[in-house]
Amino acid sequence: VALTPNATHGLHTAILGLDLQRGDEILHGDQEYSRAMAAIGQRCRRDGVIAVEAPLAAPAADPDEVARGLIERIGSRTRLIVLSQVTCATGQILPVAEVGKAAARRGVPMLVDAAHGFGLLPPTSGVLGAPFYTACLHKWLMGPIGTGVFTVQSPWLTRLWPLHPADDGQEGSAAKFEQWGTHAVAPFLALDEALDLHERLGRALLRARLDHLRAQMAAALGAHAGIRLLTDLAPDRSAAILAIAVDRAPAVELSDWLWREHRIHTATAPVAGARALRLSPHVFTSGGEIRRLVAALGAAATKGIHS
């Protein structure tokens, strides 16, 4: 286990650190995080690597179908699979354990992006035991900004180049991925507090609160003409996050408008070939705040955002 400043650090270590040849393929889903996609894109431009994208339906398809769609794209040139445990775009829970098993049978390593899995879903060996695993601790664990983990299983430890060059003596240890220069240790020391709080709340209660807030948003928004829900709310298919499309307002403009006019922060993400609005309350979000968001989105869906 290497301590890192964030999940991006692990994404970039694994995606940039494997020796790949021109024509080798990296397989990924179409809801991967922008920094993962930027690293894959750079490998394509720099090394002639080919990115193979598996499209995901929104709302999510049956998990077996999702797994099949990914596994059937593993080919003889696949050298890495990049998959989120929970996608940032729609909150979809991806079948990483199933895909990882199929990949392992073919000798292909998988990088699990657990930025939204860590602290939210139970840690299973199929996820934590992936050849490469990266997570940040500032999201659902509620740890300090500037803390993350990256893990590598053998035999990949000695096959992966670190992002920041290490000394020869560090080759066989995770310390080779921790050579990112002088940095503050206070955030890591404060993790004890975050772990305590997380444990006291309990993962189940945290998840229940997030799913409750999301269900509240979804019930109101889903009943509104001109608003489409892009997340399947079934608890085995998604967690915490809700993606929507509003017919009268493109997602990026709508997100800007929500901040400018209502001081409500949202994000946008690519979902099924278009940009969607991504709503992500935290445990401390109140019912009143959810109602304020729903009212603003209802007005945008009815009147648009240019009146």
Ligand X SMILES: Cc1ncc(COP(=O)(O)O)c(C=O)c1O
Closer to ligand X at the Cβ: 184 or 219? Answer: 184
Q: Rule CB under 6 A: choose which of 12, 28, 79, 116 binds ligand X.
A: 116
Tell whether residue 90 is a contact of ligand X (CB under 6 A): no
Q: Rule CB under 6 A: choose which of 13, 84, 151, 280 binds ligand X.
A: 84
Instruction: Show the site string, 42-81: x = touches ligand X by CB under 6 A, - = not.
Output: ----------------------------------------
Closer to ligand X at the Cβ: 241 or 294? Answer: 241
φ, ψ of residue 37 in degrees (nearest 5): -65, -35
DSSP of 121-147, one letter per residue? Answer: S---HHHHTSSEEEEESSSTT---TT-
Q: Rule CB under 6 A: choose which of 17, 148, 162, 281 binds ligand X.
A: 148
**Which listed range, 112-120, 200-208, 226-234, 249-257, lies at the site for ligand X (CB under 6 A)?**
112-120
User: 282: closest CA among 133, 164, 142?
Assistant: 142
Tell whether residue 7 is a contact of ligand X (CB under 6 A): yes
Burial class from Cβ neighbours inside 10 Å (0-12, 13-18, 19+) for residue 53 reads middle
Burial class from Cβ neighbours inside 10 Å (0-12, 13-18, 19+) for residue 154 reads exposed
Torsion of Cα atoms, 268 then 270 then 273 then 275, to 10° = 10
Tell whether residue 241 is a contact of ligand X (CB under 6 A): no
Collapsed DSSP state (helix, strand, coil) of residue 77: coil
Q: How far is the CB of 167 from ligand X (least distance, A)?
A: 26
Closer to ligand X at the Cβ: 33 or 132? Answer: 33
Interface residues with ligand X (CB under 6 A)? 6-8, 33, 35, 84, 88, 113, 115-116, 136, 148
